[in-house]
Amino acid sequence: MLSSPFDSIPQQFCRHLTLEKGARLFVQGRTTGGMFYLKTGDIELVRHSANGELIVIHRATADSFFAEASLFCDHYHCDAIARNNTQLIEFDRVYLLDQFENNAKFSMALAKQFTFQLQSGRRIREIMAIKSATQRTIAAINEGLLVGNLTSFAACIGLSVEALYRALSALVKSGELVKIGRGYYALNTNNLEKKRPSARANSKVEYFTGVKHYL
């Protein structure tokens, strides 16, 4: 579900797009059209170095916004490539800038969204700085980042799918996670209760950010 202020944008200023794996959403140097919300899939923002090397500068995953800087730039500074089949929404740049300048409520909500994106990006960078794949995985799950499929989750935290599966297996074995189905894992907070004797324990199952927590 779109957050404020994007949930109030008239549909004529929202362009719904579907891309197949490998397709380019935009290329470096193209005139900017707006910023994007990624409904499903993964988008990589890449640049080419002077020697032709491909450099990934950002990977957008499902339920996130990207290309915010395009609102204030006339041309895109990178390529955007779909790494799997994706669905997304493009928000018209002219409309957004008009609202940003003339609608105080809209501009405050937009600034709040940008701040949230910045904080989220910082948290992910902190998590990716953790060298241990197992510790990186549990830190990301505790931050509520496991909200999509495991392939997207692995990309989000900078692990290969194989490394993620090994980390998940180790976390299940250690009792920190419970496997509840194919591709679905739960934080085993009963394990945490042993570390926090004063906390209240019960058998309730709570849903939070798409992951089951056993309390």
Mean pLDDT calculated for residue range 78-98: 95
What's the confidence (pLDDT) of residue 125? 87
- Confirm whether pTM is higher than 0.85: no
Please state the separation of Cα 96 from the chain's center in Å.
22
Q: Is the pLDDT of residue 211 over 80?
A: no
Give the number of C-alpha atoms closer than 13 A to the C-alpha of residue 124, restricted to the C-beta side.
Answer: 20
**Domains of the chain, first to last:** 6-127 (2.60.120.10), 133-214 (1.10.10)
Edge to edge, the sheet with strand 86-92 lists: 14-19, 86-92, 34-40, 64-66
Q: What is the pLDDT of residues 104-130, one digit of tens each?
A: 999 999 999 889 888 888 898 899 999
Looking at per-residue pLDDT, the higher value among 131 and 192 belongs to 131
Q: Of the segments 26-30, 118-122, 178-182, which one has the largest average pLDDT value?
A: 26-30
Half-sphere exposure of 134 (CA within 13 A, CB side): 11
CA 62, 83, 122, 179: dihedral to nearest 10 degrees?
60
What average pLDDT does the segment 10-22 reach? 97
User: Mind listing the pLDDT tens digit for each residue in 55-74?
Assistant: 878 888 888 899 999 999 99
**Pairing status of strand 205-208 against strand 184-188:** unpaired
